[in-house]
Amino acid sequence: MRNIRWGIIGCGDVTELKSGPAFNKVEGSKLQMVMRRDLQLVQDYAQRHNVPEWTGNAEALINNDKVDAVYVATPPGNHAEFAIKAMKAGKPVYVEKPMAATYEQCLDMIKVSEETGVPLFVAYYRRTLPGFLKVKELIDGGEIGKPLYVNIRLTRPALDSEVKGGDSLWRLDKEKAGGGIFFDLASHQLDFLDYLFGPVVEATGLTANRGGYYAVEDTVSASFRFENGVLGNGLWSFVTNNHVDEDRMEIVGSEGKIVFSGFNHQPIMMYKNGEEFEFPYLNPENIQYNLIKQVVEQLQGMGECVSTGISAARTNKIMEMITGK
């Protein structure tokens, strides 16, 4: 079995527990090098996570002969730049979500992947988590009959950092993130629905800035239709009061419905024939572990990853259709 040696570009918060340690835990995988512009922070990360090499220069990591594959964990605005450089260097790329700041950048990444023959994967790990796989199992097994429509509600108050920091936060900088918090969080939900029902073929939406804490949208409503005919609608607001905190995804079928959370990881609930069914589950310690394992196995010729640049780009396209960007 070939050992895949990884380099991480942008070892920030997401890599501390969600992803970084998994590269050393997956069989046949090793975290070889990390990069961050702040040399003190990247050295600290490398020492805490037992990473042999560290650097403040992304190209030094990409061109390191000891690095076989690259994980791009910077803000989305830099994803295309680093992913394209890595693929042109012949190194497979695993990139954080959303895939890029714009759909156009996603297409550029896919083009290079196709031209070079170098694989491109995206960190939509809900496609591999037990609770979300249970939802897929129930739907594919016909437990709620024919799926009819989907409802999404994701609302919460503004965080103190968003009120005080506003435009200084990268997640609220259009150039760095693609849009507001909707782009960061709704991308997970929309990608999972793509996994369930296939591509969205129509989408429209409205956006507003109701809180005034930052320049980008803070409230979004949407309607969409999947290629299999399932309809969907969603409402996202990140400036509600403390009594309006909701994380709910509901799939209604001809014989019942499934209710689950996108982020709180509550038990899956199914309602049919006047009965209620509950399906609790546990996630891996490092929540991206299952997906990273799939990536490594595909690179070793032993399987196929469920989240690629092709599938992930569709989510960027949908979000731009909804927000009119």
Question: Taking CA 246 as the corner, what is the angle to CA 245 and CA 249, rounded to the nearest 5 degrees?
Answer: 170
At 235, which amino acid appears? L
Annotation: CATH topology of 130-282: Dihydrodipicolinate Reductase; domain 2 (3.30.360)
Contact criterion met (CB below 8 Å) for 31 and 8: yes
Instruction: State residue 167's pLDDT score.
Output: 78
Instruction: State residue 68's pLDDT score.
Output: 98
Q: Render pLDDT for 14-28 as a digit per residue (tens, 0 to 9).
A: 999 999 999 999 999
Q: Is the pLDDT of residue 1 over 60?
A: no
Tokens found for residue 271:
């309602």
* Interacting residues of 169 by C-beta distance below 8 A, sequence separation 6+: 161, 162, 214
At 67, which amino acid appears? V
Helix (H) or strand (E) holding 202: strand 200-208
In the DSSP assignment, the letter for residue 168 is G
Class for the domain spanning 4-126+287-308:
alpha beta
| Mean of per-residue pLDDT scores for the chain | 97
Instruction: State residue 177's pLDDT score.
Output: 95
> Helix axis angle, 309-323 relative to 103-116, nearest 10°?
160
Q: Render pLDDT for 101-117 as a digit per residue (tens, 0 to 9).
A: 999 999 999 999 999 99
DSSP states of 49-90 as a string? TT-SEEES-HHHHHT-TT--EEEE-S-GGGHHHHHHHHHHTT
Q: Give the pLDDT band (50/70/90) at residue 30.
A: very high
* Interacting residues of 258 by C-beta distance below 8 A, sequence separation 6+: 135, 138, 139, 143, 144, 250, 251, 268, 269, 270, 271
Phi-psi region of 127 (alpha: psi -120 to 50; beta: other; left: phi over 0): alpha
| Structure-token match 């969205």, residue found | 200
3-state helix, strand, coil in the chain (%, to 5): 40, 25, 35
CA dist., res. 113 & res. 118, Å (int): 5
Q: Give the pLDDT band (50/70/90) at residue 168.
A: confident
Q: Render pLDDT for 175-206 as a digit per residue (tens, 0 to 9).
A: 999 999 999 999 999 999 999 999 999 999 99
Contact criterion met (CB below 8 Å) for 237 and 213: no
Domain-wise residue ranges, the chain: 4-126+287-308, 130-282
CA dist., res. 85 & res. 91, Å (int): 9
- Pick from 209, 231, 208: nearest CA to 152: 231
Alpha helices, DSSP H, located in the chain: 13-16, 22-25, 39-48, 58-62, 79-88, 103-116, 130-140, 160-165, 174-177, 181-197, 289-299, 309-323
Question: Taking CA 34 as the corner, what is the angle to CA 179 and CA 185, rounded to the nearest 5 degrees?
Answer: 25
Tell me the average pLDDT across 217-240. Answer: 98
CA dist., res. 305 & res. 127, Å (int): 10
Q: Render pLDDT for 252-298 as a digit per residue (tens, 0 to 9).
A: 999 999 999 999 999 999 999 999 999 999 999 999 999 999 999 99
pLDDT > 70: what percent of the chain?
100
* Burial per residue of 202-222, b for 16 or more beta-carbon CB atoms within 10 angstroms, e otherwise: ebebebeeebebbebbbbbeb
Cα first-last separation, the chain:
45
Contact criterion met (CB below 8 Å) for 259 and 122: no
Strand arrangement, sheet containing 69-72:
53-55, 29-35, 4-9, 69-72, 93-95, 120-122
Q: Render pLDDT for 105-156 as a digit per residue (tens, 0 to 9).
A: 999 999 999 999 999 999 999 999 999 999 999 999 999 999 999 999 999 9
Instruction: State residue 210's pLDDT score.
Output: 97
